[in-house]
Chain A
Amino acid sequence: MPKITYIENSEKSHTIEVANGLSVMEGAVQNDIPGIDADCGGGMACATCHVYVKEEWFDKLPIKEDGEEDMLDMAFEPKQNSRLSCQILVSDEINGLTVSIPSKQG
């Protein structure tokens, strides 16, 4: 299974195996990674699963849909490498992906 690394704002790092087809958000929620709230449950209707994608990975991910960029306007401290983790689907291609979690979600 692909490994995804989540780095908390405190810099504590969690590397876990997430099954193909789940989202990076679901991987976090199912493994109790703190700091990813996902209030809307993955519907792209909030911005509380916001993560920063490590630079070298950002361009390798499928590009954002319009709706995701709109929601990121509302995220806490959005940056150029911001993504909603519910919109990143886990696959073998992203094995090793590293994302950082903002200091808070709202």
Chain B
Amino acid sequence: MIKTDTLIIGAGPVGLFCVHQLGIIGLKCEVVDNLDKIGGQCIELYPDKPIYDIPAVPECTGEELTNNLIDQIKAFKTNFHLNERVEELKKIEKKWLIKTNKGTEFEASSIIIAAGVGSFEPRKFFTKEIEKYEGKQILYSIKDKTIFKDKTVTIFGGGDSALDWAIELSNTSKIVLVHRRDDFRGMQASIDKVNQLKEEGKIEVYTKYQLDSVKGEDKIESIAIKHDDDSIKEIKTDYVLGFFGLIMKLGPITEWGLNLDKKTIPVNTENFETNKEGIFAIGDICSYPGKLRLILSGFHEGALAARGCFKYAKPDEKYRFEFTTSSKTVKSRLGVKE
């Protein structure tokens, strides 16, 4: 059991800046995120795309913003629990008990949900009969690539994951690459490499095709793919890999007794607390009149939510407002040497 003042769900920009705001007022926190890296949508959806509306930063990419935020909180030595998703919350007396899908347990006096539009999960094939093969022969991520040795692997998708794995696995497996259109959206070097391997006969490529059906009893024997012109092609294959990017799902958040409005959590604008005492919501996931889904709004929401957490963490102390420029206490928390 990890004891802390505040548990933050979500390691996107808003969660990261909230670590800072908690840190300067002397509260400890732990951060949980379902992704395997820090940065949320900034790092998963647009690491290379420029952002132009961060105050005093005329232009930066999602990755640069994330790295700067990580740098800004390094004095607090925050623990990040990545690849983990918070599943259960329970209130016992005045503390929240929190459990993740990996079994990590936390005890905190408050929780800040900075979960964006939910946790990222792989997009799946939309063919109905495939469910029974998922996790066996139909996979959306690769944990152990040795299982593909000397097998036929059909890869669906047109982005970097699809291209990278097609290239990598072509050394030891027979690869069929299927994409719904002629253009691939991966890095040019990868596209060139795939084309080269296609010329050499190491990768079969079918474009303007999508998965139509799967044949087999307990195991997949073959799949049928359908061209835009409705013609069908059958492919014998041992494995099917789908790389269609990630989709965001609210997941267990809907089961915690929080008020929900569509996919957002209504909050008050004084401290961004939800209908549950001690649970706050900030960033894209919260809603209130006038809400803008901007990173800068999330920073403001995090600053106020952090102050809201103070009374739960230190009920006998009074929160005192201080500036980072002048407060010795805040500077020492930030590790500033004078």
B181 touches A69 (CB 8 A): yes
Interface centre among B118, B228, B247 (most CB of A within 10 A): B247
Q: Is A73's CB under 8 angstroms from B45's CB?
A: no
Task: Let me know if A41 and B248 touch, CB within 8 A.
Answer: no
Chain B residue nearest to A78 (CB atoms) is B180
Residues from chain A with a CB closer than 8 A to the CB of B180 are: 73, 78
Quick check: is A58 within 8 A (CB to CB) of the other chain? Answer: no
User: Contact: A69 with B183, CB < 8 Å?
Assistant: yes
Instruction: Give per-residue flags for A37-53: 1 if the beta carbon is below 8 A from chain B beta carbons, else 0.
Output: 10111000110100000
Shortest A42–chain B CB gap in Å is 9
Known: A73-B159, A77-B126, A80-B228. A39 touches B248 (CB 8 A): yes
Judging by beta carbons under 8 Å apart, are B247 and A106 in contact?
A: yes
Q: For the complex, what is the distance from the CA of A45 to the CA of B183, rounded to whole Å?
A: 19
How many interface residues does B have (CB within 8 Å)? 25
Q: Complex formed: what's the CA distance from A106 to B185 in Å?
A: 20
Select the residue from B183, B185, B263 with max chain A CB neighbours within 10 A. B185
Q: How far is the CA of A70 from the CA of B48 in the complex (A)?
A: 15
Q: Which residues of A contact B179 (CB under 8 A)?
A: 73
> Which of A48, A76, A78, A106 has the most B CB atoms < 10 Å from its CB?
A106
Assuming the contacts A37-B263, A45-B46, asked whether A70 and B126 have C-beta atoms less than 8 A apart, the reply is no
Interchain CB contact (< 8 A) of A106 among B45, B123, B157: B123
**B123 and A74 form a contact (CB under 8 A):** yes
Residue from the list A37, A45, A48, A76 in contact with B45, Cβ < 8 A: A45
Interface of A is mostly: loop
Closest chain A residue, CB of each to CB of B245? A74
Whether B245 pairs with A73 at a CB distance below 8 angstroms is yes
Establish whether residues B293 and A41, one from each chain, have CB atoms under 8 Å apart when the complex forms. yes
Nearest B-chain residue to A45, judged by Cβ:
B45
Question: Which residues of the other chain, B, contact A73 by a CB distance below 8 angstroms?
Answer: 157-159, 179-181, 185, 244-245
Q: A63-97: which residues lie under 8 A (CB-CB) from chain B?
A: 69-70, 73-74, 76-78, 80
Q: Which residue of chain B lies nearest to A42 when distances are taken between CB atoms in the complex?
A: B293
Q: Which residues does chain A contribute within 8 Å of B263, judged by CB atoms?
A: 37, 39
CB of A45, distance to nearest CB on chain B (Å):
5
> Which residue of chain A has the shortest Cβ distance to B158 in the bound complex?
A73
Task: Render B200-227 as a binary contact track against A, CB cut-off 8 A, 1 for contact.
Answer: 0000000000100000000000000000
Can you name 26 A-B pairs with beta carbons within 8 Å?
Answer: A37-B263, A39-B118, A39-B263, A40-B45, A40-B117, A41-B284, A46-B45, A46-B117, A46-B247, A69-B181, A69-B185, A70-B159, A70-B185, A73-B157, A73-B158, A73-B159, A73-B179, A73-B181, A73-B244, A73-B245, A74-B244, A76-B126, A77-B126, A78-B180, A78-B210, A106-B247
6 new A-B contacts at CB < 8 Å, known A37-B263, A39-B263, A74-B247: A45-B45, A69-B183, A73-B159, A73-B179, A74-B123, A76-B123
Ranked 4 nearest A-B pairs via Cβ: A106-B247, A74-B245, A39-B117, A70-B185
